Amino acid sequence: MRYYTLSSIILLLPIIIFILHHFIKNTPRRRAKLPPGPKPWPIIGNIHLLGSKPHSSLANLSKTYGPLMSLRLGSATIVVISSPDVAKEMFLKHDSAFSSRRVPDSFRTLGHDKVSVIWNPVGPRWRNLRKISTIQLFTNQRL
């Protein structure tokens, strides 16, 4: 009898933890204000909608959700801009929101994200690294 109780607890505990994690992660107070997009599936997100030709699938999705939409690809949330006019507006008026990139785990593990102009967010350190690279690396004599 005790064996069955212990085995059922061992089987149910991961399921309960997964469900609690899912509800805590998806609370309304933590969701960002994102553009409209298709409802993602758990774990895989919207990867199933991309198919074998992602550019065609994204064009079809933009007909449904408009030129600015959000997708979840696995655990990463992305914003897709499919109109030149909207892209120009985003990069001119909302440039600070798009200035940082997600740093890959391999760069973060090795510590390369702290000394690279590409991965640093815009700030004093980024400006200093950019100034050094412009003066020392990208001069006419060096190129």
- CA-CA-CA-CA torsion sign (60, 61, 67, 73): negative
- Residues 4-55: tens digit of each pLDDT: 677 777 888 888 888 887 777 766 655 568 899 999 988 899 999 998 999 9
Kindly report, residue by residue over 82-124, the tens digit of the pLDDT.
Answer: 999 998 988 888 877 777 777 777 777 877 777 777 777 788 8
Q: What are the start-end ranges of the H helices in the chain?
A: 2-25, 54-65, 84-93, 105-110, 124-136
Q: Which two tokens stand for residue 14?
A: 């991961």
